[in-house]
Amino acid sequence: MLAVTRHAASLAVRDLDLVYASSRGPVPALQQLSFDVAEGEFVSVLGPSGCGKSTLLKLAAGLLKPSAGRIELAGRLVEGPRREVGIVFQQATLLPWKNVLENVLVPVRAMRGDVAAARERARELLRMVKLEAFSSHYPQELSGGMQQRVGIARALVHDPALLLMDEPFAALDAMTRENMMVELQRIWAGTGKSVLFITHSIPEAVFLSDRVVVMSPRPGRVLRTMAIDLPRPRTIETMVSPRFAELTNELRHVFAGMEPA
Ligand SMILES: Nc1ncnc2c1ncn2[C@@H]1O[C@H](COP(=O)(O)OP(=O)(O)OP(=O)(O)O)[C@@H](O)[C@H]1O
Ligand SMILES: [Mg+2]
């Protein structure tokens, strides 16, 4: 049995506004935000701290309602949390009292799915993230990178069509982070899922993506969309190639022109 099917869904973000109510009045977080993630496409949203990236992710996950505009998943309006979505957060947020295999199964239990059937799938996903030898270990016995890999397996266990990732490698050291970028690319190529990846790292966005959407400081708008034409599979060598340097420099210039938030 294959752990995950290659079914993927498109995401359409249209004229999205989000205004937070706060004690000091309304805080506009997103303004007229529009972009797409095609089926099976890897899109990164890159922007400075506080520009509304996590807000966008929460909207795409159906955890927040837009003030205006809309988000569609596979052509259907997102009005609440959806089974077709898997989420990876900045921190792995594993349950310390459950072992690795049981942590991967958490979404299946939460969705009242067939746990017995999902167990084999969870094992296969742990093989995919190279943690099959650790399935009965507990989170505190794993490194940060390993925990984040458990988080990726957990996000895939119910075979979502779209993966939402909010700075999943931000808490990792630089070397682990580069390895995780290569690993994530391999996992993505193996699953064919659509990915919306949030980051404020230019090299991370360039390395991983088919396209990079650059956001302005708050209220977040799309400043620029850039196609990344680096051949795949990308490796550590990709990061020292002249084309990689050109693309990252171009994005640095987009940021250099921004007003501070
Ligand atoms: N619940 C809230 N109430 C009021 N304002 C909020 C709330 N959540 C976020 N904000 C504000 O909205 C803006 C966007 O926040 P968000 O967390 O989406 O930014 P971000 O791009 O993810 O930042 P970072 O890169 O630091 O994670 C920020 O200015 C933040 O202060
Ligand atoms: Mg954030």
* 89-109: pLDDT as tens digits: 888 899 999 999 999 999 999
Residue 175 placed within a domain: yes
Residue 39 placed within a domain: yes
Residues 148 and 173 reside in one and the same domain: no
- Check pocket membership of 211 for ligand 1, CB cut-off 6 A: no
pLDDT of residue 1: 42
Residues 150 and 45 reside in one and the same domain: no
Residues 99 and 77 reside in one and the same domain: no
The CA-based diameter of the chain, rounded to the nearest angstrom, is 54
pLDDT of residue 127: 92
- Check pocket membership of 20 for ligand 1, CB cut-off 6 A: yes
CA atoms within 13 A on the CB side of 114: 6
| C-alpha–C-alpha distance, residues 221 and 16, integer Å | 9
pLDDT of residue 174: 87
Nearest CA to ligand 1 atom 2: 20
pLDDT of residue 173: 86
How far, in Å, is the centroid of ligand 2 from the Cα of 53? 5
Q: pTM for the complete prediction?
A: 0.93
Q: How far apart are the first and last CA of the chain?
A: 50
pLDDT of residue 184: 93
Residues 224 and 105 reside in one and the same domain: no
How far, in Å, is the centroid of ligand 1 from the Cα of 29? 7
pLDDT of residue 3: 61
Q: By residue range, what is the domain housing residue 195? A: 1-84+161-261
Residue 240 placed within a domain: yes
| C-alpha–C-alpha distance, residues 47 and 66, integer Å | 19
**Domain tally for the chain?**
2
Residue 48 placed within a domain: yes
pLDDT of residue 259: 57
Residues 133 and 261 reside in one and the same domain: no
Residue 232 corresponds to which amino acid?
A: R
| CATH number of the domain enclosing 176 | 3.40.50.300
Residue 89 placed within a domain: no
Residues 199 and 258 reside in one and the same domain: yes
Residue 15 has a CB neighbour count (10 Å cut-off) of 12
Residues 168 and 196 reside in one and the same domain: yes
pLDDT tens per residue across span 11-27: 999 999 999 999 999 99
* Low-confidence stretches of the chain (pLDDT beneath 50): 1
Which CA distances in Å does 7 have to 69, 82, 104, 122, 158? 26, 15, 20, 18, 12
Residue 238 placed within a domain: yes
- Check pocket membership of 27 for ligand 1, CB cut-off 6 A: yes
Nearest CA to ligand 1 atom 3: 20
Show which of 115, 134, 159 is a domain's final residue: 159
pLDDT of residue 92: 84
Residues 50 and 16 reside in one and the same domain: yes
Residues 106 and 148 reside in one and the same domain: yes
How far, in Å, is the centroid of ligand 2 from the Cα of 55? 7
